[in-house]
Chain A
């Protein structure tokens, strides 16, 4: 990312289009179940070797989109392209690896036989198979467990067998549907790194589904935010966090202070105004086409908390508030404030970096942020 503020536009849905040829392309892909639009006109390009994550709340269409790519679900309309060519082949001819949410290991085969299955189907010789299986088991750290049945493996081990099985036949694209959902935090973090490492080593294109934003932030080259079947935004972790395209994205990713109002222009300076406040907004925010309501979003770490009598700059927005709570989290303090307007605000400051005394609970303060730290997004 380049330093300094970059031009902000409202609803910058897709960021710079990928330069390399796309490995996987979705063009206006929709899937309707009766009146329900499970997937609604999804456009997406995934580059060769890229790690892309689908992030969104439950029921937002992530699994359905993966199923369409894998060929298990026929889209109502739209096209899926691999290497620029439309794919209509049945699932078993797509050469796309998939790790299912419940692992889907064959219970009547050992770990080694599960991993060898795609090779057997492809009529690899016994010798070839044995070599590849050993290699794959080794890669996921299960060299000793090849002859165990899935029922004799722990959840994390089953997960790794499923991953090895999806990778062993060297598909160019691997889809993973919440593969770590059922595991505890520690194991999950370990496997996140392992998956990333393997992906990097083999240079595979991966599409990963999760509803854990932290997981998405850690693993992804780019994130695709889903809501109600629609792609809300596609971008790098930083773009999604710093320049959310909609209130939904701003609210869903990370913590936010949100003010809703409408745009007003006073002698060249533009404000977001409601009955309770009037905030300056960055000059490069373009007006919404439909003149609809807007929201101003400030990230908690951009909010400074000052004494009520502190001097502020012209280029700053201020809100009078009372400290409701302070939580000491070791590396940072988390403030909860109640503004005079009734808004709840959150501030987060690293301990040792922010100067001055920490304001006490119940005291009056001034919450301050720089105009350029305001993120203005359309509502809805």
Chain B
């Protein structure tokens, strides 16, 4: 029994190390004073973080990534909330098909989506534009919003909306003061997930980027294939940090809404 448990615990720890170690190794490397990606680092310095701030390529792409992620989060939460309303509240033919189509970006291989997007945006002469990136990221992020908002919406008691109407509020006012506050945790969680999806996205972004418009992960990808220096590790550390914080926040919001 105890041996069995010990083995199980050891296996669990091993799994966690295996999953997290590659990411965590980059953290000390990013503070390295050496020029190469080297572990353990020869000394401590913040020079690579300095590079991010001072190098126009890195700082520009950080701003681009952030802007695109924010706009994606906004667009995806609006469209996803509307879609969730249709799917949860509506009764129309082909409802389950619509549901499957909306959730498909979670399942379809990203490369396939990327190739398709590239083909379409290229023919519209939009490839390489911020608009193309935002639209593409929104498509990828939409399922997360639909799932989160849908779950919240299903718990909303419809007599509350009836009560609001009875008290004089029209459908829009009722949405604003009653329904939206009740599903807000779901919308927020969905928005955070949408931000993370865009912030981390690399495959579709590679296809749709241009030399003048590159998100952070795309720049990392390009740098790695050319010259390797610890700047990439510093960027990776920042990305991981931001994603972890946002993910924790999204989970927290979700939990609260379930109570």
Question: Which A positions have Cβ atoms within 8 angstroms of B?
Answer: 70, 72, 90-98, 100, 102, 104-108, 117-118, 120-122, 165-166, 169
Question: Which B positions have Cβ atoms within 8 angstroms of A?
Answer: 157, 159-160, 162-170, 173-174, 177-178, 181-182
Nearest Cβ distance between residue B146 and chain A, in whole angstroms?
23
Q: Are A169 and B168 in contact (CB under 8 A)?
A: yes
Point out the residue from A93, A97, A100, A165 that lies within 8 Å of B159, measured CB to CB.
A100
Point out the residue from B160, B170, B173 that lies within 8 Å of A106, measured CB to CB.
B160
B interface secondary structure, majority: helix
Q: Are B166 and A92 in contact (CB under 8 A)?
A: yes
Point out the residue from A97, A102, A105, A107 that lies within 8 Å of B166, measured CB to CB.
A97
With CB as the reference atom, state the residue of chain B lying closest to A165. Answer: B167
Residues of A within 8 Å of B164, CB to CB, are 106, 117
Q: Are A117 and B167 in contact (CB under 8 A)?
A: yes
Residues of A within 8 Å of B168, CB to CB, are 92-93, 95, 118, 121-122, 169
Q: Which of A90, A106, A108 has the most CB of B within 10 A?
A: A106
Residues of A within 8 Å of B182, CB to CB, are 107-108
Q: Are A91 and B165 in contact (CB under 8 A)?
A: yes
With CB as the reference atom, state the residue of chain B lying closest to A98. Answer: B166
Residues of A within 8 Å of B181, CB to CB, are 108
Residues of A within 8 Å of B162, CB to CB, are 72, 91, 100, 104
Nearest Cβ distance between residue A53 and chain B, in whole angstroms?
20
Q: Are B159 and A92 in contact (CB under 8 A)?
A: no
With CB as the reference atom, state the residue of chain A lying closest to B159. Answer: A104
With CB as the reference atom, state the residue of chain B lying closest to A120. Answer: B177
With CB as the reference atom, state the residue of chain A lying closest to B157. Answer: A104
Known A92-B174, A169-B167; 14 more pairs at CB < 8 Å: A70-B166, A72-B162, A92-B168, A93-B168, A100-B159, A100-B163, A102-B159, A106-B160, A117-B164, A117-B167, A120-B177, A121-B167, A121-B173, A169-B168
Q: Which of B157, B165, B174 has the most CB of A within 10 A?
A: B165
With CB as the reference atom, state the residue of chain A lying closest to B158. Answer: A104
Nearest Cβ distance between residue A108 and chain B, in whole angstroms?
5
